[in-house]
Amino acid sequence: MATFVDHVTLHLRAGNGGNGCVSVKREKFKPLAGPDGGNGGDGGDLVLVADQSTTTLLGYHRSPHRSSENGGPGMGDHRNGGNAEIRELLVPIGTVVKDMEGNELLDMDEPGLRLVVAPGGQGGLGNAALSSTKRKAPGFALLGTLGFEGDVYLELKTVADVALVGYPSAGKSSLIAAMSAAKPKIADYPFTTLHPNLGVVDAGETRYTVADVPGLIEGASEGKGLGLEFLRHVERCTALLHVLDCATLEPGRDPLSDLDVILGELGAYPVPEGQKPLLERAQLIALNKIDVPEGRDLANFVRADLEARGYRVFEISTVTHEGLKSLNYALAEVVEAGRIETAAAEAKKPRIVIRPRPVDDGGFVVRVEGGSFGNIYRILGTKPERWIQQTDFTNDEAVGFLADRLAKLGIENELYKAGAISGSTVIIGPGHGVIFDWEPTLTSTAELITAPRGTDARLDEPKRRTSNERRTEYFGRMDAKASARAELIREREAGMWQTGEEEQNEDVRSGAADAEPESDTVVDATTAETETETETANAAEADTVDTAEPADAPTEDK
């Protein structure tokens, strides 16, 4: 026996991305010819597709666990891993996809709609793709990220133009079988339909769908009987056709009381925001089973009261097909009017504008959480969490590459703004995540953190002389040399010492006047010559000191 299922929980696991490869090309006479590790392949996605040929979620009820393949790993010689195939999951039109918290992800109310409900993991880059001018031969590769793993909730809401509502055994299944080619279960004993039946009806040039939904009893809006199982399938219908049983044998029931109960339950059911309430939609009444004599008499008796309420009333028989043609065209007229109204409402919808992410949006947040031993700083964001999954923490070079990426993203500056200090506990990702003891780098504001209170370590650098200080020192040395030279001149003029030339001239004059012996003259001349050479050397050295500039003498600023 076929079973109808209109809500199910899917347990999904998308494929993981393949790891990148670490490889170095080796050839004859070229033992290290450069990195050639390929990239890993992407994991397979799980995609929901709205399909017209699918009418129930029974397949997912019996096997709710669905998964896709993993991506292939990268290989040497620049060989990339293969991408896994996308796996499509067919669902009926009208399926609403929700997360486990009840948030609606997508209403698949049109054929062909696709939703990537479980994205596959991203393949990791090989060391060939990570090479650069600064890192010519990386000794690491990125790992593949994990695919989505979690649950989603599928809820089927029948998509039809007209919904047949009424008490159980009112003849709704017989009516849809008489008006369309649908084959619902029909028997000659009282029972209720357990799942909706759809039928396509042609009325001239108009074609519309009719839904026979489970019977309604008092308290259905509160969950009694099939309750919400029924009312869920009425939300999308343009018009409601109340099928009233005019030949019921149950005591205390008649078409008017049945209609009042049905209207009360329809009015108590809350429709989703943006949809028209059920009682404000077009409503028609079909008085069924007039092929029974008592049924025809009762239909003639209550017809006036129903028309006085503003309803269009049709007396029908699903056995003899009496009154079905007029009912068919009346429903087609209501459906056409509803389609025109819907098209006008669609035209007035605001245009969807997709704005790109701001350039200065880092894509992460730093959240401060209290802990037993101080604050914990948790980093949440798509990029940091993905980078953590891609890092091989057994490879120091890969860890350094991760640190460079995090610093470039601006995480360290945000940690400092949040109040983190050296040694603070930092967690990247939700839950347990990856835990670090934060040690700030010099590229961030770390110098403000490590310095004692009220000091700045950047001011403790060795002091360099300015241009003015070097110029003042140079001119001071020049003034000292000029003073020493003037003192020497003053002593020479006072006769405290003479140059070699002056002494020689004086000796010549003295020799000519006194006519001393030749031996004494020779001795004096020799002594004078020696003293002259000494004084000449001293004078040359003094002149060198006076004229030479110091090596570190600064140039005048222009």
39, 81 Cβ separation under 8 angstroms: yes
The C-alpha atoms of residue 2 and residue 191 are separated, in whole angstroms, by: 16
On whether 172 is known to bind a ligand per the annotation, the reply is yes
Q: Is 191 annotated as a binding residue?
A: yes
Contact (CB, 8 A) for 258 and 305: no
194 is in an annotated binding site: yes
167 is in an annotated binding site: yes
Q: Taking the CB of residue 239, how many other CB atoms lie within 10 A of it?
A: 21
User: Does 396 belong to an annotated binding site?
Assistant: no
224 annotated to a ligand binding site: no
**Cβ-Cβ contacts under 8 Å for 392 (sequence gap 6 or more):** 140, 141, 143, 398
Of 291, 286, 292, whose CA–CA distance to 315 is shortest?
Answer: 286
Q: What's the token pair of residue 231?
A: 């009312």
Q: Is 96 annotated as a binding residue?
A: no
Rounded Cα distance, 232 and 6, in Å: 10
In the block, which residue shows the tokens 């990702």? Answer: 429
317 has binding-site annotation: yes
Q: For residue 65, how far is the Cα from the chain centroid?
A: 26
Given a contact cutoff of 8 angstroms between Cβ atoms, the answer to whether 327 and 164 are in contact is no
Helix (H, G, I), strand (E, B) or coil at 197: strand
318 marked as part of a ligand binding site: yes
The answer to whether the annotation marks 326 as part of a ligand binding site is no
The radius of gyration of the chain from alpha carbons, rounded to an integer in Å, stands at: 49
Question: Binding residue per annotation — 427?
Answer: no
For residue 462, how many other CB atoms are within 10 A of its CB? Answer: 4
Whether the CB-CB separation of 124 and 37 falls below 8 Å is answered with no
Q: Is 256 annotated as a binding residue?
A: no
Q: In what order do the strands lie in the sheet with 282-288?
A: 197-203, 206-212, 162-165, 239-245, 282-288, 312-315
The 3-state DSSP class for residue 304 equals: helix
377 assigned ligand-binding residue: no
Instruction: Give me 419's structure tokens.
Output: 């109040």
214 is in an annotated binding site: yes
d(CA 157, CA 122): 34
192 is an annotated ligand-binding site residue: yes
Is 215 annotated for ligand binding?
yes
195 known member of a binding site = yes
For residue 345, how many other CB atoms are within 10 A of its CB?
11
193 is in an annotated binding site: yes
User: What is the C-alpha to C-alpha distance for residues 329 and 337, in angstroms, rounded to an integer?
Assistant: 12
Cβ atoms of residues 129 and 20 within 8 Å: yes
Cβ neighbours of 415 (radius 10 Å) = 23
Q: Is 183 annotated as a binding residue?
A: no
Query: Is 361 in a helix, a strand, or coil?
Result: coil
Amino acid at residue number 234: V
Establish whether 289 is an annotated binding residue: yes
- Determine contact, residues 397/138, Cβ cutoff 8 Å: yes
Residue ranges at the known binding site: 166-173, 191-195, 212-215, 288-291, 317-319
Residue ranges at the known binding site for Mg(2+): 173, 193
Residue ranges at the known binding site for GTP: 166-173, 191-195, 212-215, 288-291, 317-319
